[in-house]
Structure 1
């Protein structure tokens, strides 16, 4: 067999063996939901570092463990990448000595790890609050950085000039392939998972070969004297920071403007209705058109029993305290109208409503419509800032630094430790598994935007009716079709409108989530954790 063919077989074998080993470990410990991440273990830069840093940020519980894990991963990643680059090197091009490739790729691994850490931290935030914009803010920089980091592993001068169109094309294909492979590995029946994983790893090897060829054999470098790579890195770092700035409230006086507040209820609706808006909403105190309808106030009721006006900062309170305010408002409205209560809740409001119904099974609430609920929030964890140990310790401090930068001059800005977020972190055993579950004595429907497919990994079989709408988070209320379905639900109709693309989109997004922290491992969650091995998937909707 010619040496070139032997090198190719060795390349494919190594690229396939590493993800196969990861899958075997995951199966051995029963951590099946994380199988979709395995193909990234031999992916092309920077996706392999992104894979490593997400695992590290979730599964460390001290600074010592984080530091040792970081150094170990850098060393392993550098040696593995050097081996792959050496095997993928073009046959007719001068190849550096293996020792030189190891030194270079260990340096690349260190540089890549520190560059990728902020984006991996945003993946942790996405798993805590189940909001896809955090995930997109992490992935867009990956796409920008990939062609430059891939040049970095083969030789000097990577930081000057533009990568070739071939290298950009292979980088984009890497992203598409990783996305599809992650979905396939997760979806494949367990008996076929090793075979699919081997195929995924071998495909990674072919992509490495083409990427290294494109980087080594690039003949003409445009803008050869311009430090393009550092400029792109600054732009990449600005993506999550800019997205955070754009997401901050703009001191709006009133965002509670759903049509149900400006129109009278049809006579066939038997409920009195409370509308709970979401995070960073604001309310100016104007009453609803129908006396049987009220907006929920995050500041409670005034002396006359009317919802108080509130600003966006009021929504940052804990879910438990908000549910207590909701309980008082429900009692007053129920006594005044004599009607059963229906809750219409959006985003954070849906979590408030579910917290209330969890703690008060004998309430007068008989219907709940959740718009853009935070599906499977609390999948990862980080301790409060005063703690010196705890799972996700470094991730919490990375997020604090990033949020500190983006909220300069905005005292009302969100923080990783605000009471609302800590409610999701501390109550993960409920918010991760119970949000989309039936509630005894209460009619429930969930209006899910298509973007929710990227917000929550697959695995939960829905046991309540859903209305899936092609839109973004919190963008359903006010859409004509959705409002008509809502009124039909309130009038007693059974509604259920799933969309075919929702499940496949969930599976395609699975590769980019952070691995979930096992409920039984975290001492904070352990008192309410279900029995069983730490990594065994918990059955949904079981208490």
Structure 2
């Protein structure tokens, strides 16, 4: 048993270390946290494979060949781990049976997990934490079912044991902690952590195989529970799209500071308020004459902002910024005051686009609430084109089409807002939270956005962090006082200690970014790649 255990730990550790060595050698810091998952128990192992494949394929033949290879390699590796983990007192099937069974499980896992891996890629495109959290939760549900699949003949019947659930949750914890450690360590120390985590995977393979073969009690032994769980997990991918939308914007009841009431006299600015994705506005102006709502439809013939519905927010960031420039100039001329911009979610990205393109305008202050932190880390081409991520693009379109069926306002992974971020990904990935000369800037970040930020530097402007969900910062009453402090020149920075920890804890579950140098769409840019440098705001 001692020799088999040593072989099991070696087989589990070596692939994780090999992946870590390759990533450290090329300096791919943002992806190093994935290495320990190379030998994780089901389904974390397949989730690891699919995220790499979905980001790094640039044609249908490459995708299909990669998918077939991933299934076969994963099945054979899992068969070897299962054989070495098999208890001595239980007759073991042949290696051929284990290989065939585990290849079948790998194929099944690829089908079940595929929508969630696609949603994870969508997360990296728009940097929205909802998507990352939503794509990880199904792995926890599937784990105890799939761990039985490679071992037990009639694995689809009955509830998994408490032991299987516990070991699968422990593997999730091990992978999360290993990813956090890797994100915190320099250089070749990453390989050591990956090897130790891989060996931990080996021990968990041993425990899960034992638990699958010798459950203390099998509940609902005649009920096909696993197929029901699979249906729920796959249907949830569509439900998640319906629930969160492409950018989780608010449709109604946006109540930013100064939308009601008057601006304190000590604030010298006039303020433009820019709402987020899928928001709407009925045209009623704010109470103060020094405050104006931005319209995604533009202005009427009397130069007043037009009411707009959710679909109006789907326009590109460049076109929204151009509309904002017109409103900024009119508000400045009308009030004679410097302008402060306050944008949330998509609105924050419109603000960032505007100050980059019009740095010498009348805007003196920019406040970004729940900005998308480092979006544009993955890519998929428009319909009818080939390129990096072509298969995942069509999968996202299929998920979106199903999610749109009950919805009046349709979202699309190809709407102009999304495509503008993908087309200008080098800028948004590298400079969203970078300073602009002549403009005082601050980002109000909910702590959940820590999961959006890849390992490394994420902001060079002041940040005010609060426990909140995406888009929820503005609901905090203390924020209005902080906005007034910022506009009157006081120090407003308040980073939270747990933000960096949460950022590192999410490192293991993010898809690998697509290297900026690989995509011809980004070839002309002069931005450095934070995925490799670990820093932002730098030129190539």
TM band (smaller chain) = over 0.9
Q: What secondary structure does 2:442 align onto?
A: strand
Partner of 1:404: 401
Deviations 1:464-517 (A, max 9, x none): 110001000010113111111011111221210000000010000010000000
Q: Is 2:55–2:378's contact at 8 Å kept on the other side of the alignment?
A: yes
Partner of 2:3: 6
Partner of 1:362: 360
| Selected match of 1:121 from 114, 118, 123 | 118
Q: What secondary structure does 2:410 align onto?
A: coil
Does 2:242 match 1:245?
A: yes
Superposed displacement of residue 109, structure 1 = 0.9
Question: Could you say if the C-alpha distance between residues 45 and 316 of structure 1 is closer, same or farther in structure 2, counting changes exceeding 3 Å?
Answer: same
| Selected match of 1:308 from 306, 310, 330 | 306
Partner of 2:102: 105
Q: Is 1:458–1:503's contact at 8 Å kept on the other side of the alignment?
A: no
Q: How many residues align?
A: 538
Q: What secondary structure does 1:501 align onto?
A: helix
Question: Could you say if the C-alpha distance between residues 531 and 228 of structure 1 is closer, same or farther in structure 2, counting changes exceeding 3 Å?
Answer: closer
Superposed displacement of residue 411, structure 1 = 4.7
Partner of 1:260: 258
Q: Give TM-score scaled by structure 2 length.
A: 0.97
Q: Is 2:30–2:532's contact at 8 Å kept on the other side of the alignment?
A: no
Q: Is 1:251–1:312's contact at 8 Å kept on the other side of the alignment?
A: no
Partner of 1:542: 538
Measured in 1, the distance between the counterparts of 2:19 and 2:204 equals 20
Partner of 2:18: 21
Does 2:469 match 1:455?
A: no
Measured in 1, the distance between the counterparts of 2:535 and 2:378 equals 18
Q: What secondary structure does 1:157 align onto?
A: coil
Q: What secondary structure does 1:446 align onto?
A: strand
Partner of 2:131: 134
Measured in 2, the distance between the counterparts of 1:90 and 1:253 equals 56
Larger CA deviation: 166-175 vs 61-70: 166-175
Q: Is 1:450–1:472's contact at 8 Å kept on the other side of the alignment?
A: yes
Q: Is 1:81–1:105's contact at 8 Å kept on the other side of the alignment?
A: yes
Measured in 1, the distance between the counterparts of 2:127 and 2:463 equals 18
Measured in 2, the distance between the counterparts of 1:50 and 1:28 equals 24
Partner of 1:503: 500
Q: Is 2:275–2:294's contact at 8 Å kept on the other side of the alignment?
A: yes
Measured in 1, the distance between the counterparts of 2:101 and 2:40 equals 18
Partner of 1:415: 412
Q: Is 1:376–1:435's contact at 8 Å kept on the other side of the alignment?
A: yes
Measured in 1, the distance between the counterparts of 2:172 and 2:318 equals 41
Q: Is 2:249–2:279's contact at 8 Å kept on the other side of the alignment?
A: no
Does 2:375 match 1:377?
A: yes
Larger CA deviation: 107-116 vs 9-18: 107-116
Deviations 1:394-418 (A, max 9, x none): 1101100001001014352211000
Does 2:166 match 1:169?
A: yes
Superposed displacement of residue 259, structure 1 = 3.5
Q: What secondary structure does 2:343 align onto?
A: strand
Does 2:433 match 1:436?
A: yes
Partner of 1:272: 270
Superposed displacement of residue 240, structure 1 = 2.4
Superposed displacement of residue 243, structure 1 = 2.2
Question: Could you say if the C-alpha distance between residues 461 and 513 of structure 1 is closer, same or farther in structure 2, counting changes exceeding 3 Å?
Answer: closer
| Selected match of 1:63 from 51, 60, 63 | 60
Larger CA deviation: 480-489 vs 214-223: 214-223
Unaligned runs of 5+ in 1: none
Q: What secondary structure does 1:308 align onto?
A: coil
Measured in 2, the distance between the counterparts of 1:363 and 1:435 equals 19
Superposed displacement of residue 302, structure 1 = 1.5
Measured in 2, the distance between the counterparts of 1:432 and 1:199 equals 32
- CA RMSD of the aligned region, Å? 1.7
| Selected match of 1:192 from 189, 204, 212 | 189
Measured in 2, the distance between the counterparts of 1:480 and 1:140 equals 31
Please give the residue correspondences for 1:76-115 in structure 2 after superposition, counting only pairs within 5 Å: 76-115=73-112
Q: What secondary structure does 2:259 align onto?
A: helix
Unaligned runs of 5+ in 2: none
Superposed displacement of residue 537, structure 1 = 2.8
Measured in 2, the distance between the counterparts of 1:187 and 1:135 equals 21
Question: Could you say if the C-alpha distance between residues 538 and 5 of structure 1 is closer, same or farther in structure 2, counting changes exceeding 3 Å?
Answer: closer
Partner of 1:492: 489
Q: Is 1:148–1:159's contact at 8 Å kept on the other side of the alignment?
A: yes
Q: Is 1:140–1:239's contact at 8 Å kept on the other side of the alignment?
A: no
Partner of 1:516: 513
Measured in 1, the distance between the counterparts of 2:285 and 2:270 equals 14
Does 2:227 match 1:230?
A: yes
Q: Is 1:85–1:154's contact at 8 Å kept on the other side of the alignment?
A: yes
Does 2:201 match 1:214?
A: no
Superposed displacement of residue 256, structure 1 = 3.4
Measured in 2, the distance between the counterparts of 1:254 and 1:193 equals 46
Measured in 2, the distance between the counterparts of 1:84 and 1:135 equals 29
Question: Could you say if the C-alpha distance between residues 254 and 117 of structure 1 is closer, same or farther in structure 2, counting changes exceeding 3 Å?
Answer: closer
Measured in 2, the distance between the counterparts of 1:245 and 1:461 equals 29
Measured in 2, the distance between the counterparts of 1:253 and 1:412 equals 10
Partner of 1:31: 28
Q: Is 2:250–2:276's contact at 8 Å kept on the other side of the alignment?
A: no
Q: Is 1:251–1:311's contact at 8 Å kept on the other side of the alignment?
A: no
Q: Is 1:122–1:399's contact at 8 Å kept on the other side of the alignment?
A: yes
Measured in 2, the distance between the counterparts of 1:165 and 1:269 equals 59
Q: Is 2:249–2:345's contact at 8 Å kept on the other side of the alignment?
A: no
Superposed displacement of residue 461, structure 1 = 5.1
Question: Could you say if the C-alpha distance between residues 531 and 130 of structure 1 is closer, same or farther in structure 2, counting changes exceeding 3 Å?
Answer: closer
